[in-house]
Amino acid sequence: MSVAVLLFLGLGLLEAEGRRNRCFFNRTQEYCKCYNLSEETIGSIIQCLPATVVEFQGGDLEKYIAFPIGDLDSSAIETLDSLTIQKIIIGNVLVPEILLARVLRFFSYTHVQELAFESCIFQGTGNWSDMDGQNLPILSLSFHNVTSAPLTGQEQAFSSLSSWLGTLEELAVTGSRITSLPCAIGRVFRTLHSLDLAQNSLGDGSLSPAFCQGAFPQLQELSLRHNNLRSYHSTCKGVELLLELQHLDLSHNELTADPSPSCQWPASLRHFNLSSTGLDEVPTPLPPKLEVLDVSHNHLHAVDISLSSLKKLFLDQNLLQAVPSIRNYPMLDTLHLDNNSITELPRDEVKLLGRLQDVAVADNPFSCSCSGAGALQALAAAGHLGQGWPGDYRCHSPAQYQSWPVAQVPVSVLHCDPAAVVAPICVTLALLGLAGAVYVARARPCRRA
């Protein structure tokens, strides 16, 4: 019985004669992977019992829709309770919702904390009333590249599942062509900390309804990476009610830095990702208490902002010609400027850059004048240049050093500032000469006398 239940938990009853169809357990990783399980090879699932992660790949569950699933006897419950499985991954499976609705409650006897569906098709609609008031140990739920009936119109299901969903901490629905999220759904997720909606089709207009008053009241991390967002202003408006938000990822959208004087980002925002968003200027306003700002992979020509709490600033892959003034970021410890158009580190900034823990300026067209190469070598010697030194730091000018590694440009005093060495020698010689002359001059009258 318990094996049958485990089977249902994994939805692993699959048809696949003549194909690779059994489970493989990797003891080192405590990972068990099952391919196209069928009734004949179901015995091999036994070896998954000591696993922490079990993955089921492939199949079609349609023929089990009518399968009678009763309640569990006490020994089955005991077995489920003794399992150490923490995560179940279900991939490339056609899942009838009717079946899912009937087996989901069995998870309440397990310690499974994470459930992930990848490349699955959810079919039909289930009757979820068995889940009314039911809690599950699952805290993290993820769907990637799944197809299902539209979320609108599934209010009944969400209401039956609300006891459990109200305790969920992490939810990911990625790569699944989502265009909107009804307001009522967000209100079910009362304790959700992290929501990943990357690689969907959410547009500017879909945010305000999704993050309406009372939706996701405890949300701290939100990823909207790779969607159809266009307006910085509308995006700000769309998330302004998420008062606990700390991390926001807007990378890989084509944003326009339209002015948004009337919108305030949630004051709790600390990490902001605007990487690969097509920006040619830093948009305003920025969340004022940011600690991490990623504006890499854009078309920025200049950066003139100040943020008093900022610790990490990522500006790699832009068109910057100068290092931004470090004075604007008193708390900064990390600055990345790789792949820009910077020719030299300004003399008065080098000392400040030396105070940071991690500076990266690789793949810039450096001018290897004595001061230019010298500043980089000094920074590297102090151990502050991160990855890329010395290989990715090359001279662009002057002609005699073109494509030389910056690290190999001679910057000794004799080479760079001969006057500094020669002058004292000349002076010394001159003084010696003078002293000699005086001595001789003095000595002569004596001799004469």
Contact positions toward ligand NAG, by CB under 6 A?
A: 26, 28-29, 119, 121, 145, 147, 225, 249, 251-252, 273, 275, 292, 294, 314, 316, 338-339, 362-363, 388, 392
CA angle 364, 369, 370 (to 5 degrees): 120
136 vs 146, beta carbon nearer ligand NAG: 146
141 vs 360, beta carbon nearer ligand NAG: 360
**H helices present in 83-144, as ranges:** 97-103
> Cβ 364 to ligand NAG, closest distance in Å?
10
> Cβ 327 to ligand NAG, closest distance in Å?
23
Residue 334's alpha-carbon distances to 226, 313, 326, 344, 393, in angstroms, are 26, 6, 11, 19, 18
For 31, the token pair is 């990972």
Phi then psi for residue 142, to 5 deg, are: -140, 145
Task: Give the span between the Cα atoms of 210 and 216, in whole angstroms.
Answer: 9
> Cβ 196 to ligand NAG, closest distance in Å?
11
> Cβ 251 to ligand NAG, closest distance in Å?
4
135 vs 147, beta carbon nearer ligand NAG: 147
Terminal C-alpha separation, the chain: 130
> Cβ 318 to ligand NAG, closest distance in Å?
11
69 vs 292, beta carbon nearer ligand NAG: 292
**H helices present in 354-409, as ranges:** 370-381
193 vs 225, beta carbon nearer ligand NAG: 225
196 vs 294, beta carbon nearer ligand NAG: 294
145 vs 167, beta carbon nearer ligand NAG: 145
Report cis status (omega within 30 of 0) of the bond before 424: no
358 vs 363, beta carbon nearer ligand NAG: 363
Residue 164's alpha-carbon distances to 116, 123, 140, in angstroms, are 16, 22, 11
> Cβ 91 to ligand NAG, closest distance in Å?
9
User: CA nearest 199: which of 142, 153, 149?
Assistant: 142
> Cβ 105 to ligand NAG, closest distance in Å?
26
> Cβ 304 to ligand NAG, closest distance in Å?
21
Task: Give the span between the Cα atoms of 383 and 192, in whole angstroms.
Answer: 41
Task: Give the span between the Cα atoms of 86 and 88, in whole angstroms.
Answer: 7
> Cβ 144 to ligand NAG, closest distance in Å?
8
**Which residues make beta-bridge pairs with 33?**
24, 55
User: CA nearest 219: which of 240, 241, 192?
Assistant: 192
60 vs 338, beta carbon nearer ligand NAG: 338
Residues 6 or more apart whose CB falls under 8 angstroms from that of 283 comprise 232, 255, 257, 258, 260, 274
